[in-house]
């Protein structure tokens, strides 16, 4: 809205892909029967002591490095105290004034242009359990059940600075962040199952004014909900301020059914939680050597990778971004390219045909039967004129069904392209000779009939005639004999 600016910051919780919980040896397996992945530590029994999971620290440090953060040699765990039935200890072990990492960034590009979004901090914390309301199917609506399987599973919280200015930018940032945690193998990125959860802090101000009061919208578990919630909040706050009202600092919930947010509780301040250093855990020390090991294992991240595709292969912004969407797809593309030589062709085939057919067959790329080597071979056969683009698509579909090599399919089905000019000339002459009426019309000026002749030649050659040669010969014969 003209005259107004929206200020948005995101807090993203990512569940770390460790085998066991953050402070005990319980498995983190999703979907296990309720309360079967629990022990005295994650149930908060008195006297049970936490032991930090090193794998969680490595994954968290990986994400911190991948987002350009400084990973602090020493960070401190703290107790965040609050009462809720899904929190058996009465406090959550988190990090407060000395987080694992600070000062990173992610670059995003939207229609509004490029923007660097600063990352304020990344800290490690444990998740709470899960409350299941009305699990009895209505028989007893005042009953809630508690499942503590999730209690104590490791999370990182990634807090951005309030650098985003629209829901579109918020989506671009979350998309990139999700890619990064997945590239790092730190999180599976599954928003539906709650592996990645997002809270949005939203405020508005008139151009040039200081920051306004913000509201926090909790637990946005899909990209669509994030966009809707942010847009709703921006409009709600502007309408409120324009009619003389004031924005209250509060926590709000997004209702997917109505697309609206509603007040949940007044926003708590840090002092409400009575943070105190966790006495049962020593400060977390990450050595430079450990950090080097983590760094050495990180793959090339999506942003520099997409930039490299644009710079070295001349791909468009859209193509390069599509190809880096997942690490698996990017690696598939690069291996195809290694076997095919033509970046543009490899990009088109992977982006359109491979992604399209995987979606259509509901097959994950990892079990797609066409390997990058096979696709590269197919592309080389098109480049050398051995087969037409159309025949290649037919062969490709068969490769995806059978896993057979392209040359074997082309040979067996006689798909190889006819590129011998003399053989094609024979077909063209036959077509011209047996279409007297159309030939006369064409020569009288109805040149739109040209496509009809091309179709006839392709039909007569069973789709195998090299279209370039066929076109050239057709023109030559039709035009020459007519004059
Ligand atoms: Zn446990």
Question: Separation of 50 CA from ligand 1 center, angstroms?
Answer: 9
The DSSP-derived string for 143-189 is -EEEE-TTTT-EEEEEEE-S-B-SHHHHHHHHHHHHHHHHHTTS---
Q: Residues 97-125: what's their mean pLDDT?
A: 96
Q: Is the pLDDT of residue 178 over 90?
A: yes
Q: For 38-61, give one letter per residue: b (16+ CB within 10 A) or e.
A: beebbbeeeeeebebbeebbbbbb
Contact present, 118 and 161 (Cβ < 8 Å)? yes
* pLDDT at position 480 over 80: no
Q: How does residue 140 score in pLDDT terms, banded at 50, 70 and 90?
A: low
Tell me the pLDDT tens digit for each residue of 422-448: 889 999 999 999 998 989 999 888 888
How many angstroms is it from 25 CA to the middle of ligand 1?
A: 6
How far is it, in rounded angstroms, from Cα 48 to Cα 176? 39
Q: Could you tell me which of 91, 59, 26 has the C-alpha nearest to residue 158?
A: 59
Phi, psi of 377 (to 5 degrees): -65, -40
b/e per residue, 222-261, with b = 16+ CB within 10 A? ebebbbbbbbbbbebbbeebeeeeebeebbbebeeeeeeb
As a whole number, the mean pLDDT across the chain is 93
Is pTM beyond 0.85 here?
Answer: yes
Query: How close is the Cα of 72 to the center of ligand 1, in Å?
Result: 28
**Percent of the chain topping pLDDT 90:** 76
- 228 CA to centre of ligand 1 in angstroms: 37
In the DSSP assignment, the letter for residue 33 is P
Mean pLDDT across 16-29: 96
pLDDT at 87 over 60: yes
Q: Could you tell me the distance, in angstroms and rounded to a whole number, from the CA of residue 149 to the centre of ligand 1?
A: 8
86 Cα: distance to centroid of ligand 1 (angstroms)? 14
Put residue 156 in one of left, alpha, beta given phi > 0 → left and psi -120 to 50 → alpha: beta
**CA–centroid distance, residue 323 to ligand 1 (Å):** 40
The predicted structure's pLDDT at residue 31: 83
Tens-digit pLDDT profile for residues 389-422 = 888 999 999 999 999 999 999 888 888 878 888 8
Give the mean model confidence (pLDDT) for residues 12-41.
95
Count each helix (H run) and each strand (E run) in the chain, helices first: 16, 16
Q: Where in the chain is the domain with CATH 1.10.10.410?
A: 421-482
- The answer, yes or no, to whether residue 307 has pLDDT greater than 70, is yes
Q: How far is the CA of 40 from the centre of ligand 1 (A)?
A: 6
Expressed in angstroms, the distance from the first to the final Cα of the chain is: 65
42 Cα to the center of ligand 1, angstroms? 4
Region 171-186 average pLDDT: 98
pLDDT band at 107 (very low <50, low <70, confident <90, very high): very high
Gap from CA of 48 to ligand 1 centroid (Å): 10
Distance 148 CA to ligand 1 centre (A): 9
Q: Which ranges of 210-326 does DSSP label H, i.e. alpha helix?
A: 223-242, 288-297, 302-313, 317-323
**Confidence bin at 481 (pLDDT 50/70/90):** low
DSSP per position, 220-242: E-SHHHHHHHHHHHHHHHHHHHH
Confidence class of residue 137 from pLDDT cuts 50, 70 and 90?
low
pLDDT of residue 306: 95
Query: 36 C-alpha vs ligand 1 centroid, how far in Å?
Result: 10
Residues facing residue 108 across a β-bridge: 115
pLDDT at 414: 81
Cα of 44 vs centre of ligand 1, distance in Å, is 9
The Cα 103–Cα 216 span in angstroms is: 22
130, β-bridge pairs: 147
Residue pLDDT, tens place only, 262-278: 998 777 777 889 999 99
- How far does residue 155's CA lie from ligand 1's centre (Å)? 15
Confidence class of residue 161 from pLDDT cuts 50, 70 and 90? very high
**pLDDT-derived band at 483, boundaries 50, 70, 90:** very low
Q: What are the pLDDT digits (tens) for 332-357?
A: 999 999 998 789 999 999 999 999 99
pLDDT in tens, 224-283: 999 999 999 999 999 999 999 999 999 999 999 999 999 987 777 778 899 999 999 999
Ligand 1: distance of its center to the CA of 151 in Å? Answer: 8
CA of 154 to the centre of ligand 1 (A): 12
Instruction: Name which of 88, 14, 18 is nearest 46 in CA terms.
Output: 88
Residue 200 and residue 159: Cα distance in Å, rounded? 10
d(Cα 430, Cα 393) in Å, to the nearest integer?
Answer: 28
Average confidence (pLDDT) over 11-22:
98
pLDDT score, position 62:
98
For 421-482, the fitting CATH number among 1.10.10.410, 3.40.50.12780, 3.40.30.10, 3.30.70.1560 is 1.10.10.410
Residue 139 has pLDDT above 60, yes or no: no
Residues around ion ligand 1, judged by CB within 5 A, are: 24, 26, 39, 41-42
Nearest CA among 215, 465, 180, 207 for reference residue 327 = 180
Q: Which two tokens stand for residue 297?
A: 């294992």
Give the distance (Å) from ligand 1 centre to CA of residue 262: 35
Distance 180 CA to ligand 1 centre (A): 29
pLDDT band at 122 (very low <50, low <70, confident <90, very high): very high
Report the separation in Å between the CA atom of 437 and the middle of ligand 1, taken as the mean of its atom positions: 85
């Amino acid at each position: 809205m003209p005259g107004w600016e929206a200020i948005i910051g995101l807090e993203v919780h990512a569940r770390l892909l460790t085998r066991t919980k953050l402070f005990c040896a319980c498995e983190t397996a999703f979907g296990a029967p309720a309360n079967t992945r629990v022990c005295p530590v994650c149930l908060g029994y008195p006297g049970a002591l936490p032991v930090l999971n090193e794998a969680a620290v490595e994954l968290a440090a990986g994400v911190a490095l991948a987002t350009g953060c400084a990973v602090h040699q020493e960070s401190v765990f703290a107790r965040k105290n609050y009462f809720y039935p899904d929190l058996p200890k009465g406090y959550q072990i988190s990090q407060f004034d000395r987080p694992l990492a600070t000062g990173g960034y992610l670059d995003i590009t939207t229609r509004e242009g490029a923007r660097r979004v600063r990352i304020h901090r990344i800290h490690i914390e444990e998740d709470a359990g899960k409350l299941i309301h009305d699990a009895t199917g209505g028989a007893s609506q005042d009953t809630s059940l508690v499942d503590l399987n999730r209690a104590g599973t490791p999370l990182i919280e990634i807090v951005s600075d309030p650098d985003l200015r629209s829901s579109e930018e918020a989506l671009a940032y979350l998309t990139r962040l999700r890619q990064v945690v997945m590239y790092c193998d730190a999180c599976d990125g599954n928003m539906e199952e709650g592996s990645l959860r997002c809270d949005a802090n939203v405020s508005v101000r008139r151009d040039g004014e200081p920051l306004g009061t913000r509201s926090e919208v909790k637990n946005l578990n899909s990209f669509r909900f994030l966009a809707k919630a942010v847009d709703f909040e921006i409009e709600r706050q502007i309408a409120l301020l324009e009619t003389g009202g004031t924005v209250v600092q509060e926590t709000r919930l997004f209702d997917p059914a109505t697309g609206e947010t509603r007040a949940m509780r007044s926003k708590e301040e840090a002092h409400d939680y009575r943070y105190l250093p966790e006495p049962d855990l020593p400060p977390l020390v990450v050595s430079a050597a450990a950090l080097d090991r983590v760094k050495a294992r990180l793959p090339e991240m999506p942003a520099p990778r997409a930039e490299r595709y644009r710079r070295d292969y001349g791909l468009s912004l859209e193509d390069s971004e599509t190809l880096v969407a997942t690490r698996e797809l990017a690696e598939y593309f690069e291996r195809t390219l290694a076997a095919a030589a033509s970046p543009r062709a490899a990009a088109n085939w992977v982006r359109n045909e491979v992604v399209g057919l995987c979606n259509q067959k509901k097959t994950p790329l990892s079990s797609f039967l066409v390997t990058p080597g096979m696709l590269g071979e197919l592309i080389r056969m098109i480049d050398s004129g051995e087969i037409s683009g159309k025949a290649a698509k037919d062969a490709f579909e068969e490769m995806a069904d059978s896993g057979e090599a392209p040359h074997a399919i082309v040979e067996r089905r006689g798909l190889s392209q006819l590129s011998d000019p003399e053989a094609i000339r024979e077909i063209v002459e036959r077509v011209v000779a047996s279409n007297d009426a159309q030939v006369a019309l064409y020569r009288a000026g109805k040149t739109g009939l040209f496509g009809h002749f091309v179709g006839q030649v392709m039909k007569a050659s069973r789709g195998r005639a090299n279209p370039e040669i066929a076109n050239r010969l057709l023109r030559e014969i039709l035009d020459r004999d007519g004059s």
